[in-house]
Amino acid sequence: MARSLSYISSSQLISIARNPRIAIIDVRDEERNYDAHIAGSHHYASDTFSDRIPSLIDAVKGKDTLVFHCALSQIRGPTCARTLLNYLSETKEGSEIKNVMVLERGFNGWEASGRPVCRCSDIPCKGESS
Ligand SMILES: [Zn+2]
């Protein structure tokens, strides 16, 4: 099954973020540790992303939509999303994943628009705070 990469704005994401079938994948590197993050997002740093795809697929079991972002979603977010798409097209894994998206303007745009952020240090983030 061919999947393609699409983009989603922060206002579109906030309207669907409570859907339990959506997972947000943060691929920032060490910035995640001193910046805030989107509540409930998974963290798969871009520098080790390829090696951790099997664990990512495991972590998002039951989800059908993955939304990637980095700080600006210009390089790392789309690159990791495409890496995942290539992996999925070459294996039979992750067949539940129907949509792979990139959050426009990344975490920085999300935060600058006044969207809720989480500052917990839980791994993984439980996503309850705002
Ligand atoms: Zn958190």
Amino acid identity for residue 58 in this structure: D
Residues 70-79 have a mean pLDDT of 98
Instruction: State residue 129's pLDDT score.
Output: 44
- Whole-number Å distance, alpha carbon 89 to ligand 1 midpoint, is 31
Chain segment 36-73, per-residue pLDDT in tens: 999 999 999 999 999 999 999 999 999 999 999 999 99
Instruction: State residue 128's pLDDT score.
Output: 62
- Whole-number Å distance, alpha carbon 24 to ligand 1 midpoint, is 12
Instruction: State residue 92's pLDDT score.
Output: 85
Query: Rounded to an integer, what distance in angstroms lies between the CA atom of residue 115 and that of residue 92?
Result: 36
- Whole-number Å distance, alpha carbon 126 to ligand 1 midpoint, is 6
Instruction: State residue 48's pLDDT score.
Output: 98
- Considering the chain, what is the average pLDDT of its residues? 93
Query: Can you give the pTM of this predicted structure?
Result: 0.94
Let me know if 70 is a catalytic residue. Answer: yes
Chain segment 9-32, per-residue pLDDT in tens: 999 999 998 899 999 999 999 999
Q: Which two tokens stand for residue 67?
A: 């939304």
**SS3 letters across the chain:** CCCCEEEECHHHHHHHCCCCCEEEEECCCCHHHHCCECCCCEECCHHHCHHHHHHHHHHCCCCCEEEEECCCCCCHHHHHHHHHHHHHHHCCCCCCCCEEEEECCHHHHHHHCCCCCECCCCCCCCCCCC
Instruction: State residue 97's pLDDT score.
Output: 96
What percentage of the chain carries pLDDT values higher than 90?
A: 85
Q: Could you tell me the pLDDT band of residue 2, with boundaries at 50, 70 and 90?
A: low
- Whole-number Å distance, alpha carbon 67 to ligand 1 midpoint, is 16
Among candidates 124, 113, 101, which has minimal Cα distance to 41?
Answer: 124
